[in-house]
Every structure is written in C-alpha cells, then in structure tokens.
C-alpha cells in the first residue's frame, strides 16, 4: 500500500511541484534505468529511455490519477511503453536496412530480429488490449515481480479478485496469441 508520503508526492507531482519531480527521480530513477537496461540491453539507450520517462511523465503529469495506482506504478507503466517504443524503432530500422539492401541488389545480411524481441513486442501490444485491472495485475506480476498477495496488498484489491484478474488476463492473452498464430506449443 502507498503511504501518506507517497500519496502527497503523487499529488504534488500532478500539481506541478518541481520538488516532487526531483524526489520521484531520486526514488525511482535507478529503478527505471535498471528495468530499461535489462529490457533493451544497452546502457546508453536505457539512459535515453529513463530521460524520456521522466520528461514524458512531467509533461503529462495532469493525466496522473492516484486513484488508479501509485506514482511509481504510473512511472513504470510509462517505462514499459518507452521500452516497447525502442523495440518498435529497432524493428523499423531493421526493416529499412533490409529494404535498402534489397533495393541495392546486395545480398541480405543474416540479422534476423530475435524471437525474444518479437515476443516482447507482441505481448506488449496484446497487454495494452486487456482491461485496465487485468493489465495492472499482470504488469505488477511480470514487471515488478510481485506475488498475488503483494499485488492485493499494494492495490487494495481482494486476493481472490487479483487471482481472477490474473487468470482471466493470462487466458485472454493465450487466446489472442493463438488466434494471431503467435503462441508456440
């Protein structure tokens, strides 16, 4: 659960208090950077993503709604979107290089997009299609590595509801991936 201090920080952030931005960066900047580094595998790109997260959060601070989750959770959601954007950019770049290589009549390079990258992009897209509560529960489970009990405690949702959201979300993802021909057995 969030503390009164966290609530006040989120409220001050949403209202444009620059000291709250500085405090949010102090508290969670390293976490954002670590997650970005683990996901993209490039420290320089992770630095860029971290900057994009905090600049983007500050610029859209009016959309932060503490009733939907903590400031930390909101920042982590932005982080995952920025990581997905970085993967999309890489994918577009690879397609451009392949197209230019083909246009020039040069033999193509054998630099396939890794299965992990594609899986991540597909899952990110499908996760965005889930209802908000299922999305929140699954993101907290996968990205924050929280147990269902911890998710229940942090969100204030009953444990049974968290379990239901987890199951329904996973089933919906599985069904969507099977329909799209993306699921591997």
Kindly report, residue by residue over 75-103, the tens digit of the pLDDT.
999 999 999 888 877 776 666 666 666 66
To the nearest whole percent, how much of the chain has pLDDT over 90?
A: 34
- The string over 155-184, giving b where at least 16 C-beta atoms fall within 10 Å of a residue's C-beta and e elsewhere, is bebeeebbbebbebbeebbeebbeeeeeee
The CA distances from residue 50 to 72, 91, 98, 109, in Å, are 13, 20, 29, 32
Q: Is the pTM of this model over 0.85?
A: no
pLDDT band at 111 (very low <50, low <70, confident <90, very high): very low
- pLDDT category at 1 given cuts 50, 70, 90 is very low
CATH code for the part of the protein at 1-105: 1.10.1740.10
Token code pair at residue 168: 């329904």
42 close to 86: Cβ distance less than 8 angstroms: no
Segment 127-141 mean pLDDT: 83
**pLDDT tens-digit profile of 38-73?**
888 888 999 999 999 999 999 999 999 888 889 999
pLDDT band at 110 (very low <50, low <70, confident <90, very high): very low
Token code pair at residue 161:
């509801």
pLDDT of 124 > 90? The answer is no
- Band of residue 113 on the pLDDT scale cut at 50, 70, 90: very low
Average pLDDT over residues 165-181: 78
Cβ atoms of 119 and 173 closer than 8 Å: no
The CATH code that applies to domain 114-185 is 1.10.10.10
Domain residue ranges in the chain: 1-105, 114-185
């Amino acid at each position: 659960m969030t503390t009164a201090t966290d609530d006040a920080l989120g409220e001050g952030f949403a209202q444009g208090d620059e000291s709250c931005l500085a405090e949010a960066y102090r508290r969670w900047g390293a976490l954002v950077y670590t997650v970005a580094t683990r996901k993209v595998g490039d420290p320089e790109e992770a630095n860029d993503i971290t900057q994009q997260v905090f600049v983007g959060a500050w610029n859209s601070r009016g959309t932060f709604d503490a009733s939907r989750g903590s400031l930390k959770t909101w920042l982590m959601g932005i982080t995952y979107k920025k990581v997905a954007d970085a993967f999309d950019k890489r994918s577009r770049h690879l397609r451009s290089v392949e197209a230019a290589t083909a246009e020039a009549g040069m033999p193509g390079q054998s630099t396939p997009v890794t299965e992990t990258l594609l899986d991540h992009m597909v899952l990110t897209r499908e996760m965005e299609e889930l209802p908000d509560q299922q999305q929140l529960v699954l993101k907290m489970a996968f990205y924050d590595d929280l147990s269902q009990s911890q998710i229940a405690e942090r969100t204030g949702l009953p444990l049974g509801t968290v379990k239901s959201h987890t199951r329904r979300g996973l089933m919906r993802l599985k069904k969507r991936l099977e329909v799209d021909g993306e699921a591997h057995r």
